[in-house]
Amino acid sequence: MKEGVKNELNILLGVIEGVQKFLKQDGSTMAMMLSSALFDQFWRLKDELEKGSPE
């Protein structure tokens, strides 16, 4: 797997864990912000995978 894809996956995992943490606490605006970050990171990962070649 390309190094860029691995980095994007690690970032995505961190964002997901953050969303879970804040949703458990109170479902606040912070959770909404992290959810938006999750969505953005997903599209970055998708773009990275689409432009990369299979290895």
Instruction: Give the pLDDT of residue 27.
Output: 67
Sign (positive/negative) of CA torsion 40, 42, 45, 47? negative
9-31 per-position pLDDT tens digit: 888 888 888 877 777 777 677 77
- The two counts, helices (H) then strands (E), for the chain are 2, 0
41-54 per-position pLDDT tens digit: 888 888 888 887 56
Write phi, then psi, for 26 (nearest 5 degrees). Answer: -160, 0
Amino acid at position 6, single letter: K
- In whole angstroms, what is the distance from residue 6 CA to residue 31 CA? 24
- In whole angstroms, what is the distance from residue 27 CA to residue 46 CA? 27
Instruction: Give the pLDDT of residue 1.
Output: 63
- Domain range summary for the chain, segments of one domain joined by +: 3-51
